[in-house]
Amino acid sequence: NKGQPVAQLEYSWIIESLMYLTNCTRPYLAYPVNKLCRFTSNPSHEHWNTLRRVKCLRYAFEYELKYSRYPVVLEGY
């Protein structure tokens, strides 16, 4: 990491919130968040900009689970 250092504490807070989203509701963020976690101790502006892009991704996808009114029947063969 040879870029300008940025606010490490704020970077780690955002990483922490993205990790929570990854574990609970947004599994598609797991790979980029994992890669950005490597630079928590010494983030640069490049990492910060990438983190901002990942932060925007969490709003980009809207997945829904739709349940029908009819009960689900488990069939085994």
The whole-number average pLDDT for the span 27-43 is: 85
Tell me, yes or no, whether 24 lies in a domain. Answer: yes
Quick one: what percent of the chain has pLDDT higher than 70? Answer: 70
30: domain range?
8-60
- CA dist 52 and 8 (Å) reads 14
What is the reported pLDDT for 4? 65
Total structural domains in the chain? Answer: 1
Top-confidence residue, 58 or 75:
75
First-last CA distance in the chain: 57
Top-confidence residue, 62 or 9:
9
Single out the residue of 7, 12, 9 nearest to residue 36, CA to CA.
12
Q: What value does the mean pLDDT of the chain take? A: 77
Report whether pLDDT(23) > 80: yes
Tell me, yes or no, whether 45 lies in a domain. Answer: yes
CA 2 to chain centre: 25
Top-confidence residue, 34 or 62:
34
Tell me, yes or no, whether 17 lies in a domain. Answer: yes
